[in-house]
Amino acid sequence: MSTIQVNGLLLRYELEGREDAPVVVLSNSLGTDLGMWNPQMPALLERFRVLRYDTRGHGESEVAPGEYTVAQLGDDVIALMDGLNIARAHFCGLSMGGMTGMWLGVHHGARFGKLALCNTSAKIGTADAWNSRIATVQKEGMAAVVPAVLDRWFTPDFQQRAPGQVEVVKAMLLRTSTQGYAANCAAVRDMDQRADIAAIQNPTLVIAGTHDGSTPPQDGRAVADAIPGARYVELDAAHLSNWERPTEFTRELISFLAD
Ligand SMILES: O=C(O)CC1=CCC(=O)O1
């Protein structure tokens, strides 16, 4: 396992692929870790050097005290790239990872080539709903949110036809630190980038899921409409579209990045 000290905490990362290939950074969603990109890795590694990491408070990365902000999550990516001497990269993030991607496009666009913003939103849910989720995990632990979260991540059809894959992702959610999860919920709760993202100048792909109960397609469309020239693609999937439609997701991502 590789770790690096960034912004006062240890982040776990993996950097794989040919040293002379263009770099793509992959950023995980709330309640997962860098393993959420496993379905895309073999195809990505044929063309790219892939840097993926566990967002602070997730997986094997450290849990910093207090609540986080999307700006902190974005600063971690810049510090990670600086620490690994990566001057420029493409970026792909799903859900909270996509929110980090929007922030990076607005504030550090010159460090990035193309942005893929997947199953994400410039503003998500109400403060009350996030506060209630935070209170639940703090009082009852991660297991208390698992059934509702899984029903937003995967369609009933996928849960029935791929129970083994659902178990793999469920295990990531259950392994997530309660404190880290709550701190990242606060970052998502407090984020509103709707007025900012029109400033993004990077070529952008927005991927949405028709059955996504967390960041519905209209949210993805709104992101694509706000970013000049952004491409919008909708897959027949719920929130974790990269697991539910891995072939289509990977094809869309690679054809966009390699174009
Ligand atoms: O857990 C959810 O409801 C879905 C989600 C919201 C932000 C994120 O990254 O995942």
Residue range 110-153, pLDDT digits in tens: 999 999 999 999 999 999 999 999 999 999 999 999 999 999 99
Asked if 49 and 17 count as a contact pair (C-beta separation under 8 A), the reply is yes
CB of 184 sitting under 6 A from ligand 1: no
Q: What is the mean pLDDT of residues 237-242?
A: 98
Mean pLDDT to the nearest integer, 224-248: 98
pLDDT of residue 259: 84
CA of 214 to the centre of ligand 1 (A): 6
pTM: 0.98
Report how far residue 230's alpha carbon sits from residue 259's, in angstroms, rounded to the nearest whole number.
14
Cα(153) to centroid(ligand 1), Å: 8
* Confidence at residue 238, expressed as pLDDT on a 0 to 100 scale: 98
Euclidean distance between CA atoms 183 and 174, whole angstroms: 16
Query: Which atom, in ligand 1's list, is nearest to the CA of 98?
Result: 9
Q: Which residues contact 68 (CB under 8 A, 6 or more apart)?
A: 56, 57, 183, 184, 186, 187
ipTM: 0.95
Q: What is the pLDDT of residue 142?
A: 98
* Mean pLDDT of the residues in the chain: 98
Q: Which atom of ligand 1 is nearest to the CA of 28?
A: 9
pLDDT at 193: 98
Task: Give the mean model confidence (pLDDT) for residues 189-201.
Answer: 98
Give, for ligand 1, the residue of 29, 70, 73 to mutate: max count of ligand atoms closer than 8 Å to Cβ.
29
172 Cβ closer than 6 Å to some ligand 1 atom: no
* Side-chain half-sphere CA neighbours of 77 within 13 A: 32
Q: E-assigned strands of the chain?
A: 2-6, 9-16, 23-27, 49-53, 89-94, 112-118, 204-209, 231-235
3-state secondary structure of 90: strand
In the chain, what are the domains?
2-258 (3.40.50.1820)
